[in-house]
C-alpha cells in the first residue's frame, strides 16, 4: 500500500482517463488502451470478450453482438461530402455567422513553401473554418506576403493563379479573430464557459497560428495533436490521418490535401472526446489548489488504509478533459 500511494501521488490516475470496460485498467491514452485490448501483447481475457462485444473505434464494450452492430453503424463516420463548398469560390467563401448558434470552431490551413535558408519556411496559402455542425464559416485563399518558390502543387493543389487575387494576410487575421472572439475583446477572454469567445479546435495549432501571426488564449484551444488521450504511448503526437482512420473509421489526405477535410476530422474528434460521459467532480484538475492536500505526505497513514476505489475518487487528472466543455 505504501508503494501504491506513492504511485497514485505521481501518476494522476483519474476517472477521466481511458479505462478498460472489462477489467477497469486505467490507461494514459487510447493507444495504450488499444494495445491492452487488441495489441501485440493484449490481456487475453479482455481480448476474447472485446473481439465479440467491443467497438474498434471508440473502444467501448456493448452488452450484446446485436447492440454492437447498431453502435458501430453510428460510431463509424463516412468521409466528408465534397461539393462546391470544399474549395473557395473565387476569392473567398464565407458562411453565415449565426451568433451564439455555435460555440466551437475548427481551423485548418494549407501551406506552401515560403523559402527560408533551407527552403522549409511554411507560408499559409489557404484557410478554412467550420462550426461544430461542419458548416463552412470561412474559406479563403491567402495572398502570401513574400514570394513563393514552391507551391507544392502535388499535395496542395494550389498554384499561382489561386493566390494572385487571394485575401491579404492582415484581412484574414482580422476575420479569424472576429469569428473567434465573437464580439468579445481578446483581453477579456477568461473561460470557455463564460463570455462570447469560441473554443478553437485543430491539429498542431501552434505552428498554424504562428503562420497566421495570431495569438489566442491557450485555455480556449483544443489541439488533437496535444491532447493526452489521443497521443501515442510514448507521449508523442499522432498524425491527423492516423487519428481519423483509427477513431473515426475513414481515410483523409489521400492525394491533394484539403483544409476543409482536416477541419471536419478535427471537429469530429473533438466532439467524440467531449461527448464522453465521466463522473462529475467539483474540482477535476490536479493543479487546482483545493486538491493540493489529497495526497499530502502528512496523510500517508490515512491513505494506506483507503480502499482502491476511495483512493481513485480523490485522485485528479493532470490534464483538462474535454468532457468538461459540455458541463
Local structure of 140: helix, strand or coil: strand
- Please give the chain's pLDDT, 327 residues, in tens: 999 999 999 999 999 999 999 999 999 999 999 999 999 999 999 999 999 999 999 999 999 999 999 999 899 998 776 543 455 544 455 554 444 468 999 999 988 877 655 556 788 888 999 999 999 999 999 888 777 777 776 677 777 677 778 899 999 999 999 999 998 888 888 777 778 899 999 999 999 999 899 999 999 999 999 999 999 999 999 999 999 999 999 999 887 788 999 999 999 999 999 999 998 888 999 999 999 999 999 999 999 999 999 999 999 999 999 999 987
Integer Cα distance of 15 and 283 in angstroms: 12
Q: pLDDT at position 31, please?
A: 96
β-strands 199-202, 167-168 pairing: unpaired
491579404: which residue's cell? 168
| Residue boundaries of the structural domains of the chain | 1-80+297-319, 104-275
Integer Cα distance of 247 and 238 in angstroms: 12
Contact 267, 202 (CB under 8 A): no
Please tell me the CATH superfamily of domain 104-275, with its number.
Ribonuclease H-like superfamily/Ribonuclease H (3.30.420.10)
Q: pLDDT at position 165, please?
A: 82
Amino acid at each position: 500500500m505504501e508503494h501504491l500511494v506513492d504511485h497514485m501521488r505521481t501518476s494522476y490516475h483519474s476517472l477521466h482517463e481511458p479505462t478498460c470496460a472489462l477489467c477497469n485498467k486505467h490507461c494514459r491514452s487510447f493507444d495504450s488502451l488499444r494495445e491492452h485490448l487488441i495489441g501485440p501483447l493484449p490481456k487475453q481475457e479482455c481480448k476474447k470478450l472485446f473481439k465479440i462485444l467491443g467497438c474498434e473505434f471508440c473502444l467501448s464494450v456493448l452488452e450484446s453482438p446485436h447492440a454492437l452492430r447498431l453502435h458501430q453503424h453510428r460510431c463509424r463516420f463516412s468521409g466528408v461530402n465534397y461539393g462546391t463548398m470544399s474549395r473557395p469560390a473565387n476569392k473567398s467563401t464565407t458562411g453565415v455567422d449565426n451568433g451564439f448558434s455555435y460555440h466551437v470552431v475548427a481551423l485548418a490551413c494549407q501551406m506552401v513553401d515560403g523559402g527560408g535558408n533551407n527552403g522549409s519556411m511554411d507560408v499559409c496559402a489557404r484557410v478554412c473554418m467550420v462550426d461544430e455542425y461542419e458548416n463552412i464559416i470561412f474559406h479563403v485563399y491567402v495572398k502570401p506576403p513574400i514570394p513563393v518558390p514552391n507551391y507544392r502543387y502535388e499535395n496542395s493543389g494550389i498554384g499561382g493563379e489561386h493566390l494572385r487575387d487571394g485575401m491579404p494576410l492582415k484581412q484574414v487575421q482580422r476575420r479569424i479573430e472576429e469569428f473567434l472572439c465573437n464580439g468579445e475583446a481578446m483581453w477579456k477572454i477568461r473561460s470557455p464557459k463564460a463570455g462570447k469567445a469560441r473554443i478553437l479546435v485543430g491539429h498542431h495549432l501552434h505552428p498554424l497560428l504562428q503562420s497566421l501571426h495570431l495569438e489566442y488564449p491557450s485555455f480556449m484551444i483544443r489541439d488533437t495533436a496535444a491532447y493526452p488521450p489521443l497521443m501515442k504511448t510514448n507521449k508523442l503526437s499522432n498524425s491527423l490521418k492516423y487519428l481519423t482512420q483509427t477513431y473515426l473509421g475513414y481515410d483523409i489526405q489521400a492525394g491533394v490535401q484539403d483544409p476543409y477535410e482536416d477541419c471536419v476530422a478535427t471537429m469530429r474528434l473533438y466532439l467524440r472526446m467531449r461527448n464522453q460521459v465521466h463522473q462529475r467532480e467539483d474540482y477535476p484538475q490536479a493543479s487546482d489548489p483545493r486538491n493540493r492536500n489529497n495526497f499530502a505526505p502528512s496523510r500517508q497513514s490515512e491513505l494506506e488504509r483507503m480502499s482502491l476505489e476511495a483512493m481513485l475518487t480523490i485522485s485528479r487528472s493532470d490534464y483538462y478533459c474535454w468532457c468538461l466543455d459540455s458541463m
